[in-house]
A and B are shown apart, each in its own frame.
Chain A
């Protein structure tokens, strides 16, 4: 089609939207809300996923030594542990290193630790990463039998709970998102159908004077794309902006949370929402097009 024909179709689509502004606003709003909810759940999933991955990488079994164990014995035990087949890596973490790490994790709020003064309540420990997650328990038991070791910890329970949480969030988000998408699809379809009913005469005359079917269809396709597109722009804008804001305030107050930086992920999700919104408009038209054949 020529440029002026696109302009003509766009004009016709606009007239439809202006003829029924309440329905247009309803379509845009429902689309925006459903896409926004979907986007929020996606961002949530991505972040909980990141937290879980980071926690998982930390699944290490820690074996803490009693305060009076000499460094030479600790080093000897380290060599023993390294020889075990289930162990991937093992390192000795002195209490000074442990304190430094803790300070790093606390970031801006490391001042809290200053109150300790020169005292270090921490203990020397062995940090052991296993070959397979299911070996964690066995390795922990073996470690606890080493001489000088007072207790062992590992985080597998936390990790499995986190993964269960991610799954729940994913399912709930997907279900709510899909239901809302269906809802907004129905509203968009309804808007397009009303436009078709309102433009019955135009369509009949277009066909009578020899307009091609694509020219008859395009104003309605554009109408769907405009409705879905505006809703998507609103949703992706809100999702992006609010994620950036939430991220920055979270980084300040909860620095130890390994959140996903907004620069790639929020933009990708905003783009995804945009595509989904436009798709909604196009599908809305597909559903309505049979109505147009009967005009």
Chain B
């Protein structure tokens, strides 16, 4: 599903965000990407949905060579990937239903299909009764679940989450991870960047630990211990 070979990413201000990264993630895996701020987690995710291009090395996502992709192909890669951010990124003037439907409208889905799928994902994230609420009327946890529903409504093969629990209280954070594990169980590959050790440790999934733009550790059913001196 994801294959990164000797990937280096250097930003124009000569900050090296990733250095010689090799990473393979298979179809249907659930991977925690952990490490301190500035470790390169966000850059790695941004390469996967072609928000960035690698400086060198190759990034293959679901058969697409991201670095060599032509701009007009990008939308079609992104339709296979759902993305969730720490700051939710919902449209404040639109209600929950419209926020989720927006993702399907802009890829020209049929209205009947939109209605059906929005109802499905709202049920998946447990917000079936909040369809008409505006984002401002929702708690942070609910807003993030709306963002997750929007990411999933296009039925992507892969879900990327960049610190999705960063703005959530512990209970909501746990709910979020529980829903993402459920999504993974239904067949979607999930990559979640986080530094919430307790969530990682409870889920017992594959953990890729990064530091200074390099992968330090890659273990199955692993845990994440934050060093005391951090």
- Interface residue ranges, A against B (CB under 8 Å): 1-2, 4-5, 8, 201-202, 204-213, 215
- Given the complex, which residues of B lie within 8 Å of A206, measured CB to CB? 102, 106
- Given the complex, which residues of A lie within 8 Å of B164, measured CB to CB? none
Complex alpha-carbon distance, A207 and B75, angstroms: 7
Partner of A2, one of B75, B76, B108, B154: B108
Q: Is B91 an interface residue (CB 8 A)?
A: yes
Between A and B, 10 residue pairs with Cβ closer than 8 Å are A4-B108, A202-B91, A204-B89, A205-B89, A205-B91, A210-B77, A210-B78, A210-B107, A212-B72, A213-B71
- Given the complex, which residues of B lie within 8 Å of A1, measured CB to CB? 108
4 nearest CB pairs, A to B = A210-B79, A211-B106, A210-B78, A209-B103
Q: If A2-B108, A8-B105, A213-B72 touch, does A207 touch B89 (CB 8 Å cutoff)?
A: no
Number of A-B contacts (CB under 8 A): 51
B71 touches A209 (CB 8 A): no
Complex alpha-carbon distance, A176 and B72, angstroms: 42
Which residues between 206 and 227 of chain B lie within 8 Å of chain A, taking CB atoms?
A: none
B108 touches A205 (CB 8 A): no
Complex alpha-carbon distance, A208 and B150, angstroms: 11
Complex alpha-carbon distance, A5 and B102, angstroms: 12
Kindly report which residue of chain A lies nearest to residue B114, judged by CB atoms: A4
- Given the complex, which residues of A lie within 8 Å of B89, measured CB to CB? 201, 204-205, 208
Partner of A211, one of B49, B72, B75: B75
Interface band, chain B: 20 to 34
Q: Is B38 an interface residue (CB 8 A)?
A: no
Which residues between 72 and 111 of chain B lie within 8 Å of chain A, taking CB atoms?
A: 72, 75-79, 83, 89, 91, 102-103, 105-108, 111
- Which one of A8, A208, A209, A215 has the greatest number of beta carbons of chain B within 10 Å? A209
B111 touches A209 (CB 8 A): no
- Interface residue ranges, B against A (CB under 8 Å): 49, 71-72, 75-79, 83, 89, 91, 102-103, 105-108, 111, 150, 154
> What distance in Å separates the Cβ of A253 from its nearest Cβ neighbour in chain B?
58
Kindly report which residue of chain B lies nearest to residue A5, judged by CB atoms: B108
- Given the complex, which residues of A lie within 8 Å of B78, measured CB to CB? 207-210
Kindly report which residue of chain A lies nearest to residue B107, judged by CB atoms: A210
- Which one of B75, B89, B102, B103 has the greatest number of beta carbons of chain A within 10 Å? B75
B154 touches A210 (CB 8 A): yes
> What distance in Å separates the Cβ of B95 from its nearest Cβ neighbour in chain A?
15
B108 touches A209 (CB 8 A): no
A209 touches B107 (CB 8 A): yes
Complex alpha-carbon distance, A132 and B195, angstroms: 94
Complex alpha-carbon distance, A123 and B75, angstroms: 87
> What distance in Å separates the Cβ of A200 from its nearest Cβ neighbour in chain B?
11
A210 touches B108 (CB 8 A): no
Complex alpha-carbon distance, A215 and B111, angstroms: 17
Q: If A5-B108, A8-B105, A215-B106 touch, does A209 touch B154 (CB 8 Å cutoff)?
A: yes
> What distance in Å separates the Cβ of B157 from its nearest Cβ neighbour in chain A?
13
Complex alpha-carbon distance, A210 and B105, angstroms: 11
B75 touches A212 (CB 8 A): yes
Complex alpha-carbon distance, A207 and B103, angstroms: 10
A210 touches B76 (CB 8 A): yes
> What distance in Å separates the Cβ of B71 from its nearest Cβ neighbour in chain A?
7
- Given the complex, which residues of A lie within 8 Å of B71, measured CB to CB? 213
Partner of B102, one of A4, A205, A207, A213: A205
Complex alpha-carbon distance, A22 and B79, angstroms: 37
- Given the complex, which residues of A lie within 8 Å of B77, measured CB to CB? 210
Kindly report which residue of chain B lies nearest to residue A206, judged by CB atoms: B106
Kindly report which residue of chain B lies nearest to residue A19, judged by CB atoms: B93
Complex alpha-carbon distance, A201 and B93, angstroms: 11
- Given the complex, which residues of A lie within 8 Å of B150, measured CB to CB? 209
B79 touches A209 (CB 8 A): yes
- Given the complex, which residues of B lie within 8 Å of A205, measured CB to CB? 89, 91, 102-103
> What distance in Å separates the Cβ of A27 from its nearest Cβ neighbour in chain B?
23
Complex alpha-carbon distance, A78 and B154, angstroms: 94
Partner of A201, one of B76, B91, B105: B91
> What distance in Å separates the Cβ of B55 from its nearest Cβ neighbour in chain A?
21
- Given the complex, which residues of A lie within 8 Å of B107, measured CB to CB? 209-211
